[in-house]
Chain A
């Protein structure tokens, strides 16, 4: 019975993963077709475009870096329903920092293995970072040289996006490949790390120096002062806002639908 359930979970998980990837590919294709199809609403005024282009480009570069970071994540199957979510890497790292050197061979070997895999992961991260930076740089270059200044603002943005899409795609693919490798390296590193902990004898506490800000009194008065300040600010802002007639603006927006704001047109 139990195995049956687990199997269902397993296959369902696989199905969903494959399905998600398929949906993702479709969505990317769709987005690309929206960009390439030049189906942009005529409402977008030139001034709005010139202003938001700069913001958009910065945001896209960010997004490329961010997607890379995001896919480089630890990927482990959930061990079962009802079990607490535990990612021990953080704790293990901290404990490792406190584990004293010990002469046992096993311990040293485990440590070496763990360090080796940690290094591998570091190199992977550097490679990923380099590729992402290159892609970001190419996006910027595309931006600098590729704008068709004779065209309308809407067209400019489209040209920009068209130029950047291949580089964004390249960043995504390389990050995905690196993630797969990183996952393998991570599980190897973790295995050694656990071994290391089991082999370690005792976990002496490192005395931590307390900063001045950790003084109880300082903390209490900082928090209380901040609370009072925020409360005074909040109340005076609200009262001023009401007196200044800002509330009808809130209501006007809340009881009417701006079709653009909810993404219809």
Chain B
């Protein structure tokens, strides 16, 4: 046996060598290991199930996507969930404007925190990101993010695929540029006018999860007014990313996602994820070849900790972090030759040979035959040991949590609903009284004879903050005939008052009020036809107290002036 033969030695050396001779010329012809080794003919269904059953990772992905979007009724009502769990950020990219979402999006919240950093420090959100980074890092991407799941499903469509290369590797740094420019720089630079630039210009999760479900619901027909250049752009971005994901594995994650970029910084120190035992690693590169992400090394900033390379490593050098505690350690067993796992026999043999050579040369104790467990042919002991019961308990608990969440959000949690039907143009406006920021109150009926412009706004809302100064200018121009009432959505004292003081808006003639309720619907907003959640919303009430004009979306000074002039004529 010369050296070459020894290198190629596997469990069945002679047969293997024969195979090499026969199969070398036929490039690309593959025989699946499953087909080769079917000692017993299983039932058709069983075979189908074996070939198609979801992996544990896929189950976790679907589970988390359902759990973080448990407010299914929102998709039918066209309203987002407004309960207290929205204080908590989900780990993955999950738009908080999605009707199903029951938590806040970490990236949106971070941009919002930067955008309001001239009023409040953004430390809370930075702390949350650090915490998720420390616990999970990019395990979030591989296991917990709905956007990652969506892209993996799209990639399953059978087409030619664009594979990774040194160019995609270079391209993967684009997400850091997006992180710096769109998530950090623009919101910080433009802190006066809240501009979450990533949400606004790029985020496909906002378009597919937020904008489209809201727009499709007939209750939100007034949102259609606002469609224009921005929506066209975002829709194009969404389509490009979705189509790209069919051809390129995790197109958005690898090149564009700033959240993945952020979590990447923590991959080395995270408590969960894969780890590489470098004393065992023979540097054969099989793991890097197998991985679809642009990694240089297992566990680096591009690794999403999917764990798919664990079974590929012939030296058993890759395992889960903390595997002794709660996950299985590298479970590679000697069962099927590595060549069967390789996509192309010729390459497979060469690679296996190389791996053996390197492993033997590097480790003093010889490695057993280089082989990995074949998921289809590998023999697993079946028994109801301790692990079985732990697993069963885990699955049951997880199931109970999901069912509990679905029942709670869809049947138990109720948004408060106003008793009166919402107003439309031409109706006499309901009278209301609201508290102002400095204790004074405002009653609509006391301002009959004047045009009252009621603007619903929020300090976190870019267009709201941008258009209010123009409104105030118009108000002061027509001060004897027009009253401007700016109704803040939520928590006037804590969020809006520091903003008003900082920007000198307290000197304005406009009256700043807070809507009646906090976490449930903003009642006056709902009564006046605003739907209670979308901002900005402007209502013009004429001298007689009749609703003369409404607009959901930014209005701008020019239109307001025109409307007021029309009414004054």
- Chain A interfacial positions (CB closer than 8 Å to B): 9, 12-13, 16-17, 20, 23-24, 27, 30-31, 34, 39-43, 45, 47-48, 51-52, 55, 58-59, 62, 66, 69-70, 72-92, 94-95, 98, 194, 197-198, 201-205, 208, 214, 223, 226-227, 230-231, 233-242, 244-265
Question: With A and B bound together, what is the CA distance between A263 and B177 in angstroms?
Answer: 21
Residue of B nearest to A99 (CB): B354
A242 neighbours in B (Cβ, 8 Å): 124
Contact status of A51 and B354, CB under 8 A, knowing A39-B228, A254-B109, A261-B200:
no
In contact, A255 and B80 (Cβ under 8 angstroms): yes
Encode B186-201 as 1/0 by CB contact (under 8 A) with A: 1001100111110111
Residue in chain A with minimal CB distance to B215:
A264
> In the complex, what residues of A have CB within 8 A of residue B494's CB?
245, 248
User: Does the CB pair B121–A254 fall under 8 Å?
Assistant: no
Decide: B168 and A255 in contact? CB cutoff 8 A.
no
B215 touches A237 (CB 8 A): no
Contacts of B341 in A (CB 8 A): 84
Stretch touching chain A among B9-17, B230-238, B505-513: B230-238
> Considering the chains assembled together, what is the distance between the CA atoms of A9 and B81 in angstroms?
42
A20 contacts B247, C-beta separation under 8 Å: yes
Query: By DSSP majority rule, is chain A's interface helix, strand, loop, or mixed?
Result: helix
Say whether B330 faces chain A, with CB atoms less than 8 Å apart: no
Q: Mark B264-279, 1 if CB is under 8 A from A, else 0.
A: 0010110100000010
User: Contact check: which of A70, A194, A208 meets B346 at CB < 8 Å?
Assistant: A194
With contacts A23-B239, A51-B190, A251-B490 known, is A90 near B200, CB below 8 A? Answer: no
Measured in the bound complex, the distance between the Cα atoms of B249 and A83 in whole Å is 15
With A27-B236, A241-B125 as known contacts, state yes or no: A230 contacts B230, CB within 8 Å.
Answer: no
Given A241-B123, A258-B462, A30 contacting B160 (CB threshold 8 A): no
Query: From residue 433 to 484 of chain B, which have CB atoms closer than 8 A to chain A?
Result: 458-464, 466-467
Distance A244 CA – B466 CA, assembled complex (angstroms): 26
Docked complex Cα distance between A37 and B199 (Å): 24
By a CB distance below 8 angstroms, the chain B residues around A41 are: 228-230, 554
Nearest A residue to B134 by beta-carbon distance?
A: A230
A258/B458 in contact, CB under 8 A: yes
Give 13 CB contacts A-B under 8 Å: A27-B239, A27-B240, A74-B165, A87-B289, A89-B165, A90-B288, A214-B278, A254-B109, A255-B80, A257-B533, A258-B464, A261-B108, A265-B226
A230 to B112 CA separation, bound complex (whole angstroms): 22
Kindly provide the distance from the CB of A141 to the nearest chain B CB, expressed in whole angstroms.
22
| Bound Cα distance from A233 to B269, whole angstroms | 14
Asked whether A230 and B123 contact (CB < 8 A) given A253-B96, A264-B230, the answer is: no
Contact in complex: A76, B458 (CB < 8 Å) = no
Smallest CB gap from A40: residue in B: B229
Q: Which residue of chain A has the shortest Cβ distance to B86 in the bound complex?
A: A254
Whole-angstrom distance from the CB of B217 to the nearest CB of chain A? Answer: 12
Known: A39-B228, A249-B112, A263-B211. A227 touches B161 (CB 8 A): no
Closest 5 CB pairs of A and B: A241-B124, A265-B226, A237-B127, A263-B234, A238-B127
Asked if residues A13 and B159 are in contact (CB atoms below 8 Å), the reply is yes
Q: Which A residues are in CB contact (< 8 Å) with B247?
A: 17, 20
A90 to B291, CA, bound (A): 11
Complex CA gap A234/B84 in Å reads 22
Cβ of A244 and Cβ of B207 under 8 Å apart? no
Q: Which of B201-259 contact A (CB under 8 A)?
A: 201, 203, 206-207, 210-211, 214-215, 223, 225-236, 239-240, 243, 246-247, 249, 255
Instruction: Supply 9 further A-B pairs (C-beta < 8 A) apart from A59-B177, A238-B124.
Output: A41-B229, A48-B466, A66-B174, A94-B284, A95-B285, A205-B282, A258-B194, A259-B223, A265-B553
Chain B residues with CB under 8 A of A86: 289-290, 342-344, 347
| Whole-angstrom CA separation of A214 from B283 in the bound complex | 15
Bound CA span A223–B95, Å: 33
Complex: chain B residue closest to A252, CB-CB = B490
Interface SS majority for chain B: helix
A79's partner among B177, B186, B343, B354 (CB-CB below 8 A) is B343
Contact yes or no, A83 B32, CB < 8 A: yes
Query: Is A237 a contact partner of B343 (Cβ separation < 8 A)?
Result: no
- The interface centre, meaning the residue of A34, A42, A197 with most chain B CB atoms within 10 A of its CB, is A42
Query: In the bound complex, do residue A45 and residue B286 qualify as a contact, i.e. CB atoms below 8 Å apart?
Result: no
Residues of B within 8 A of A257 (CB): 80, 97, 210, 214, 533-535
Is B118 positioned at the interface, with any CB of A under 8 Å from its CB?
A: no
**Pick from B112, B121, B194, B206: contact of A250, CB under 8 Å:** B112
Contact indicator A235/B127 (Cβ below 8 Å): yes
Contact A253–B286 (Cβ < 8 Å): no
B120: Cβ under 8 A from any A Cβ:
yes
Instruction: For the complex formed, measure the closest distance between the CB of A164 and the CB atoms of chain B, giving whole angstroms.
Output: 16
Neighbour of B130 across the interface among A9, A45, A234, A251, CB < 8 A: A234
From A21, which residue of chain B is reached at the shortest CB distance? B243
Closest chain B CB from A257 CB (angstroms)? 4
Given A237-B127, A244-B121, A257-B97, the answer on whether A205 and B289 have CB atoms closer than 8 Å is no
Check if B361 is an interface residue, CB within 8 A of chain A. yes
Least CB separation from B96: chain A residue: A254
Nearest-neighbor residue (CB-CB) of B167 within chain A: A69
- List chain B residues, Cβ under 8 A from A234: 127-128, 130-131, 133-134
A261 partner residues in chain B, CB cutoff 8 A: 97, 108, 196, 199-200, 206, 462
Q: With contacts A79-B344, A90-B289, A202-B4 known, is A236 near B490, CB below 8 A?
A: no
Within 8 A of A (CB), among B144-167: 157-165, 167
Q: Of B89, B199, B460, which one neighbours A252 at CB under 8 angstroms?
A: B460
Instruction: Give the complex CA separation of A41 and B200 in angstroms.
Output: 13
| Given the contacts A88-B289, A198-B24, A255-B86, A75 and B223 also touching, CB distance less than 8 Å | no
B358 within 8 A of A: yes
* A77-B130 Cα distance, complex, nearest whole Å: 40
For A31, the closest partner residue in chain B by CB is B236
> Once the chains are docked, how many angstroms separate the CA of A9 from the CA of B189?
50
Which of B96, B167, B286, B461 is the most central at the interface, judged by chain A CB atoms within 10 Å of its CB?
B167
**CB nearest to B159 among chain A residues:** A13
In the assembled complex, B422 has its CB within 8 A of some CB on chain A: no
- B301: interface (CB < 8 Å): no
